[in-house]
Every structure is written in structure tokens, then in C-alpha cells.
Structure 1
Amino acid sequence: MRGSLTRRMVIASALLTLLTSAAFAVLVLAIRDQRSSAELARQSQEVLVATARVERALVDIETGTRGYLLTGDDRFLQPAHAGEVAFAQASSELVNLTRIADQNAAPGRLTAIHVSGTAQAIKIKGESYIRDYFHPVIAAAGRGDPAARSVESADLGKVMFDDIRWDSNALEETEQRVAAERDDRARDIANQATTAAIAGLGGSIVLVGFFASYLSRAIVRPVRQASETAHRLASGDLSTRLPTTGVAEIGVLEKSFNTMAGSLQRSQSELADLLEEQAALRRVATVVAEGTPPELVFPAVNEEVGRLLDVDGTRLMRYEADGTATIVASWGEPTIFPSGTRIALDAYGIGSLVRSSGRPARIEDYEDAPGPISAIARESGIRSTVGAPITVEGQLWGAMSAFSKADKPLPLGLELRLADFTDLVGTAIANAQARADLTASRARMVAATDDIRRRIERDLHDGTQQWLVSVVLDVRNAQTSVPDTQPQLRKELDDIADSLVAALDDLREISRGIHPALLARGGLTPALKTLARRSPLPVEHDINLDGRLPDRVEVAAYYVVAEALTNAAKHARPTAIWIAVDVVDGRLRLTVRDDGIGGANPANGSGLIGLTDRIEALGGTITVHSPPGEGTTLQVWLPLSAPAEPT
């Protein structure tokens, strides 16, 4: 077969060479004449274009002149001057285009001389019009000469302009006639070339047709289809296929090509699904990593899963201790188990299947399924459902389900893809629980520390301080019983009593610093005012509080102000300090500001680090703004209610 095809190609090529050689000899001569005619036609077209540009430039000059003479507005001279420049360029180009060529034949030479002379006349008359009419009349009008706007002047310009226009029209008519004659000649030459080609190639057409038909059926058509298919595949259309009509190697090639296209299509579909799933998982993981509360994570996961799996709805449920489940988030069909619905788990529901096995599960069809949940599914048009468990720290917390109303069941393996998302939900719940446990632990530590402070303060006040007061009284009594004959002993007892009083005062200061009794008795307002009075620096305060606040809030606010005043006195070198306290939207707002040197950095080991821990343990925030040279501002927000426990 290959040898036969090769012999036929050689014979056909030899015959085509003989037949086409003669045809090409004739065609070369015809093409030469055709090229000459085409060049002349192009030149005629250029002459017409140049003539139109000359006429348009003169019209701009004439129109601008008339407008200026009528209105005296200089804006009309702008197109006129532009037309003057355009005329100089266009007229020169026209003269160059109509220059007589030496090789012109005698009949055409007379027309060329006429055209060239007309073009030169247009150029000369146009220049005369600009020089002898346009410039003088504009200059005269500019001087206010009434003759410039007279009828005689206008008639003169009109006569000169009409003379140029008549020449332009004559040139155009002549050149159009010449162009038409050249077109006729070009058509004649084309007809001659066509006749020569038909005569020279007539014999080869039969051979080419016969052989081309065979090559087209056997090779060209399959190869072309393969090329087009390959192009569509490269462009992303992986659904295209080749018709398997070829024989031998061509048929094998077509089948192999279709197999490759099918494999690429499946791979592309799988890759697209994987990329989409990974993108959805990444978005959910980002939300979880940002510490978003579970009540905000749940709807986001539901929507991502619903759109990714192309289902009619998704539900996220939490298992309750009484054997029921609460729908905590839903997406899709709003009337089928909306958020907040509490349902009983029957034996055949997807929630029961997941809870009993602790693994992903699926329900292919609810047609004959028992139980009230199955009945609701049938009434709602649900045909199939998949579910996956949500595990938090090794314990089954709930489940997530996705359902479809399509006639065919959900694809196999969908529940495993769903499990990837439930793992992230479990992580979000575990993170929230860990944060809540940490916050509660810190709050308990702060409360325990405050209780210890109160106990120490109470023990010092009720025990050690009272004992020292008793000792001081005993020393004073002993001092009064010393006879006058022993002044030295009296003095020593007096010194002992003074030392005891000083120790008692120090102990009271220490006790006050551990936990001020005034804070426990009177609340935050008098305690802060006392701190302000004791400060070595002037302190202004604006305290707007109604009644008592929770004990933990008062203690935290007190220590913040005490630490801020101490730091300002030691490091900031301010002239004054301002304290502002009020309640805004259920939170205590505390601001301490000074006009010192600024530059404070809580991370450098100041007492504010411990205060930050205390504030954050209560669910509050503390910020320090201290640009160098601009003072320091410390602001604290503390919720008045205890931090909410996670659900």
C-alpha cells in the first residue's frame, strides 16, 4: 500500500510539473502586465486623494476668510491658516504624483501632460489665491479697511476660488476616466491570465482531482480532523472526539487519540474538583485559624459544602444528652429542619446512623424508609442523604449532612469528602472550648489571687495590726510607770514605742497595697479618688459611675490606675495626670493619660504585663499609646458581665 501510494504520487507530480510549467510561463507574462496596471491604478487613486486634499484645504481657507470677514472673530482664521499649510503640502504632492514618466506610451502621454499641467495650474493658482487675495484681505480687515469686506473684494475671491475649483474638477474627471480605462485594461489582462491558466491547468485538474480525492479520503481528512481535534484539546475542549473511520494506522491513531482525550477529560474533571475542594477547605481552615467563633464557622462551612458538592441543602447538628439533636446551622432548603430545630433521632435518620457508627454514612433512597424523619424527607422531595461525624477531642459532638432531590443517588465517596470539612468544624469547636477553658482558668486564678489578697489584708488588719497596737499601748503604759530617776529607760521605751508606731504605719501601707479595704467598703469611686489624693503628682479625675460594679471589675480597674500612677511618677516626668471612668454599652471604660515624655513600652517588663493578663482574663482589652514626647494614654475596656461559656 505504501509503495502504490508513493508511485502514484511520483507520476502525478511529473505530469503536474509538465502541465503547470507551460501555464506558469503564460501566467508570468500576464502577472507582469497586471502588476503594471495595478501600479498605474494605485497612482490614479493617489492623484484623486491628493486633489481632494487640495480642494479641502482651499475650502478651509475660503470658509475661514469669509467667517472672519463677517464676524471679525480670530477663531475663524485658525482653520484658514491650517488649510494654507495643508494646501502647500497637498499641492506639492499632487504635482509630484502627476509628473510625466519617460516610459509612458504616446497615447497615454498626451493625457499625462494634460493632467500634469492641470496639477501645476492648480498649485500656481492656489498660491496666487493665498498670496494675492487671502493674505491682503485678512491684513486689510485686521486694519479695519472697509474695502476688505466690500462686494468687489468678495467677488474677486469668489472668481479666483471658482477658477481653482474648476481646474480641480477637470483634473478629477480626467483622472477618473484614466483610472476607468486602466481598470478596463486590468480586467482584460486578468481575463487573459484566467484563460491561460484554465488552458494550461485543465489537464492537471483531472489528475489532481483524482489523486487528491484519494489522498483526502485516506490521509488528509483524518490528519486534518486530528489537527482540529488537537487544537480544541489544547484550547481546553477535552470533550471533542475523532470519528474512527480510518483504516490501518490511521484508524489506530484515531482510537488512540480518543483514548488520550478521554483520559485528559477525566483528569481535568478530577483536578478541577480537587482544586475547588482544596480552595473551599482552605477558606474554611482560614476562618478556623483566625479564631472565629463556632456560631460563625457553622454557616460558612454549610455554604461551602453545599456549593462544592452541588447539593440541595446541608445541615449541621449537635447531639444532645437526651438522645435528640439540635440543628445549629442550615443551608439550602429553608423549610426542611431550619436552624434551631430540635429533632428526635429515629433509627433510620442520617443523624442516628452517624451517631451509632461514629463513621460517615449515606441513605440512597427514602422510598420505603421507616420513621418520621424519613416521612418528612419524602414529603420534601429528598431522595438521598450523606452524613459525616463531628468529633471534638475524641468525643462525638454532632454530625453534618448533605441531601439531594435529584432522581439518582448522591455520588459514592461524597460522605468522605464531607468528612474533611467536619474535621475542621471539630477543630473550630475544640479551639473555642480551649479558649473558653483558658479564659475561665485565668479568671479563676485572678479571683483566687484576689481572695488571697483580701484574706492577707484581713489577717494583717485583724491580727498583726491589732497586736502591734496592743504592744504600743503596753510600751506606753510601761513608760508612764518608769520613775523620774531613770530617764534613760524612759527614753528607750519612748524610742521603742515610736519604732512600733512606724512599723505599724508601714504595715498599714503594705496592707492597703495588698487589697485596699476602702475598695471593699466603698467601691471603685472613693478608692480611685483616694489614689488620686495620695499621688505625688497633680491628678484630675472624671469618674461617672452609678453604684457598685462587680468585684472583679473594681479590683482590676483599681490596680490599673494604681500601676499607671506609679509608672507615671517613676518614669514619665509629667506635670499632670488625668483619670476618666464611665460605663459604655455594658462595659467599663477606664482612661489614664499623662503629659510626660512618652515612649512607654509594656513589653519591657513593666507591671502592665501582669495587668494585661488580669484584664484579658476578664474578657477585656488594654491598650497603651505612648509616642515619644507626647505623653502616655492607657485605655481599658472591661465587660461588666462574666464571659459567656461556649455552646
Structure 2
Amino acid sequence: MRTGARRQRFGGRWGLTARLAMASALLSLLIGGVFTYLIVAVISMRDTAALARHSERTLAAAYDLQRVVVDLETGERGYLLTRNETFLGPWKTARARFEPQAAQLRELSGRYPSQQERANKITRDGRAYLTQYSEPLIRDARRDPAAVATPARTAEEKRRVDTLRADFDDFVRFEQKRATDRIARSDDAARRAVLVAVCGTVGSVLLITGFSGHLTRQVVRPVRRVSRMAVAVARGDLTVRLRETGKAEIGHLEHSMNTMARSLERNRDELIASRARIAAAGDAARRRIERDLHDGTQQRLVALGLELRLAEDDVPPDQTTLRRRLAGLVTQTTDVVQELRELSRGIHPAILTKSGVVPAITALARRSPLPVETDLRVDRKLPERVEVAIYYVVSEALTNAAKHAHASYVRITLTATDREAHLTVSDDGIGGANPGRGSGLIGLRDRVEALGGRVEIKSPPAGGTTLSVCLPMR
């Protein structure tokens, strides 16, 4: 029974979490497979490109060595025809370059035994041409020019040069064929990679589109409805309800949201009344303490000061020590009375009860160590609880501006309508006030929210602090 009820509650065997996991796994496998194949293809293409570059270097080395052989041949022919030693310059350069160039060709051909053998044959035939024909020919021509111009030597030169050319043609033909095969394999791998990428992209798009549509119907739209309900509840409308049409966890969320709204609606009035009673009781207690201090302790201290001053006047002139002590007691009593007045003003200012919030704020501005600009557009008496809250907000804001914000001036703006009172206190201080730290701002927020009001604090670093308060009249 419990298993069946749980399945029915969460929309059958597969909840949204399981569906999301399955779709994610399928998409991951598809994308992972495509990317794995593409990585393998890219690695193969990279290897093929490296081999193609190696073939280019090998062919370049073969062509360079072939030019060396051509320079040997043309140099010796020019010398034989002209007997000018100048033509031996290219021949000497080519003879010096032959061995290094042949070594480079053998090194580049070392990956493949067949090409290595062709490079070795080119080296052997070229070395034989140089040492067995070209160098002896130049020596003999210097001794006896007529002795070298024979048909036998000409035929020998042609045979050796043709052999070298055949060696080079065979080497280049094989290397070009291998490069062509690599390019063909690379092109084929690229085409397959493109095909796989296209198929993977199309499959991913279809899967994502289908899954997105499912999520939109089953999750996004219901969550939007839940979000709209949450916004309405945050604004104070606790009568809004959701249609419980969602499946699985979404259905459970809709049911929970409706249950929460009903619970909040039942407890809202009691909570508001309780917070208002707490605030009113605190204000009443402060008023009573202020009145007791003013009418009782403060008056008795004033009377005591007068009695001490009269006693000072009655002291004979020759009792200077006693007169000085009485004068000190009079001064201390006066200081105590002044401190008591400041203390009672902080508990609950009498001017607020007698004259209202505008004179009370004006008095706070005059006592502030900072220049304060006020714009108080209130022409009537506000509800007592509203005036008390405004007074303490302004008092705390001025204290913070002087002690913590390092401000040079403060501006206070107060307006009131039949529905709400709006207060703004701003300074040009260092900013950075954090409502989460310090009991002062937390206490102000609690006081304002206890009356159903709103508090907003903007305090960017080095941008000053602005405290905005909205209090309902009812």
C-alpha cells in the first residue's frame, strides 16, 4: 500500500529525477561517442599531416641532393669546354655539399626500409660518380686536356648520370605516391569525421529538443506558476492557489505550496497582531520609563541641586574648603541631571510625544555632529507607532553616519500620504554597510517589519549609504 501510494504521488515508477538522469545519460553517451570519434579522427589527421610534412622535407632533401649532382655535372662540363677554372667553383661547392646532403636524405628516409635502401643506393651511386669519375676526370683534364675528350669517357658519364637520375626518379615517385596515399586517407578520415559530427549534431539537437519540450511541459511551466505564486505570496497575497496538475516531484511541490499558503494565511493576522503588540508594548514601556525618570528621578535631582546651591550660599565666608566641596557637588549634580536627560531622550524623547515627528527629527539634526539637510513634507500628526519608528530609524542612521560611515553630510527626506509614510536617509560616507552585521540595522529592520513596513539599504563601497523605509499608516 505504501509503495503504491508513493508511486501514485510521484507520478508512477519513473519520477522526474529518474527521467532527467536517463535523458542526461543518453545525451552524454551520444555526445561522448561523437567527440571520442572526432578526437580519434583529429589525432589521425594530425599524424597524417605530420607524415605529409615529413614527406615534403624528404622530397626537398632529394631535390637538393639532385641539384648537387647536376652542379657536379655542369661544373665539370663547363671546365672541360672552356678550361676556365671559374667553372670549377660550383663543382667544388657541390662536391663539399654532397656528403652532408646525402646524410640528411638517409636520415629522413630512415622510417621506411624501402626508402632507406633507395637513399643508400643514391648515396652509393653518387659517391661513385664523384670519386670514380668526376674527380679523376678533373685531374686528368688539368694534366692533359686532350686525353679526357674521348667517346668512352663521355659514354661513362652518361651512364652514371642516367643511373643517378633513375635512382632519384624512383625515390621521388615512391615518396610522392606515399604522400598521395596519406592525403587520400586524411581526406577520407575528414569526410567520416564530418559525417559523424553532422549525425551527432542532428541527433543531439533532436534529443535536446524533445527533452526540452518535455521539461517545458512537465517542469518549466509548472515552476513558472509556482514562481508567480511565490511572488504573490511575497507581496502579501496569501489567497493565491495553484492547480495541482503536475506530475511526480512537481505535483508534490504544487501541493506543498498550496499547503504553505493556507498555513501562512491562517497565521498571518495573528503574527501581525503579535508583532504589533510587542512593538507597542516596548514603546509604552519606554514612554513609562522616560516619564518616571522625568517626573521622578530627574525632578528630585534638580531639587537636590537647588538645595546644595542654597547650602553653598549659607556657608560662612571663612569655610572655603566646605564651600568648594559644595560647589563641586552642585556641578556633579548638574552633570548627572544632563546625562539623565540624554538617557531619557534616548529611551523615548518627550518632544516626540508632545510635538510630533517633524520637531523631533529637527532636534536630532541640530544635535548631530554632522551637517544635516532635512526635507520634511509632513503637515499633520502621524500615528504614534509610525512616528516612533521613524524617529528611531533617523536616530540610528545619524549615529551610524557619524561613527562608522565617515560622512561629511546627511540628507533626510520624509513624505506621507494617507496610505504610507516614506523616509530616506542618505550620506556621502564610505559605504559598505552590511545589514546582516550589527544589532542596530537588524533592530531597525525588526521594528519596521513589525509594523508591516519595508526597509531597503543601498551601501556600495565608496558610494555612500542610503536607507529607505516605507511604513503603512494602517
TM, length-normalised to structure 2: 0.49
Judging by fraction of residues, say which structure has more strand.
1
Judging by fraction of residues, say which structure has more helix.
2
